[in-house]
Amino acid sequence: MPRITKEDKARNRQNILEAASRMFRSQGIDAVGIADLMKEAGLTHGGFYNHFASKNDLAVEVCSASYTASLEGLARTIEDGPGQAGSPLERVLADYLSTAHRDAPDGGCPSASLATDAGRHDEAVQSAYAEGVEGYLTGFAAEFLREAGDKGHDLDTAEARHKAIRLLSEMVGALMLARAVRHVQPELSDEILHTGRNHALD
């Protein structure tokens, strides 16, 4: 039987992470069994413990990796600065509360898709989630301060953080509500997204 190479092992581990990221976000951590997860990753059930000590350890890594990817996208948008589609925060808001993001619960920002799971799991998962939330708040607050400076407005760091918390809370709440009703009341779901896009930065 051929020995698995380091490259193969790293690829298999990444396949598990990617499969878990999709399944945890769309189904919930507790609803996903290891056998189904490994099948989704194209691997055998028994190989799971060659890569992760437990499903909880995997959940921590999924949360961290998901936030890393999401925050990299936020950073790129902010670095691009204002454009024809609006300010960086306006573009972030429009993308976040879009029908495409709503209709892809297995991807996108983990703030909404993993919120319930983070609250139900141990401190390791909650810590990874909290670190991601802090990343969003830091990025939003810095952008609020930059915008205020460009406009010659006074805004202290405490108020910028308050605005950041409010924005993230409204974005996540609106997305969760829109997803919760989209199949039975699609018009209501669209209305929630539309209202959030147009008023979360008021």
Task: List, for residues 133-177, the tens digit of each pLDDT value.
Answer: 999 999 999 999 999 999 999 999 999 999 999 999 999 999 999
> Structure pTM?
0.92
Distance separating alpha carbons of residues 18 and 191, to the nearest angstrom: 32
Is 22 domain-assigned?
Answer: no
pLDDT tops 90 at residue 74: yes
The DSSP call for residue 90 is H
Domain count, the chain: 1
What number of other Cβ atoms are within 10 A of residue 16's Cβ? Answer: 25
| Cα 161 from chain centre | 19
pLDDT for residue 1: 46
User: If you write DSSP's letter for every residue of 28-71 in order, what string do you get?
Assistant: -TTT--HHHHHHHTTS-GGGGGGT-S-HHHHHHHHHHHHHHHHH
Question: What's the pLDDT band for 46 if we cut at 50, 70, 90?
Answer: confident
Which pair of tokens denotes residue 52?
């992760």
Distance separating alpha carbons of residues 89 and 102, to the nearest angstrom: 18
**Residue 77, domain extent:** 54-199
pLDDT for residue 3: 67
The DSSP call for residue 87 is -
Distance separating alpha carbons of residues 152 and 124, to the nearest angstrom: 42
pLDDT for residue 173: 97
Task: List, for residues 87-135, the tens digit of each pLDDT value.
Answer: 999 999 999 999 999 999 998 899 999 999 999 999 999 999 999 999 9
Is 85 domain-assigned?
Answer: yes
Is 17 domain-assigned?
Answer: no
Is 67 domain-assigned?
Answer: yes
CATH number at residue 179: 1.10.357.10
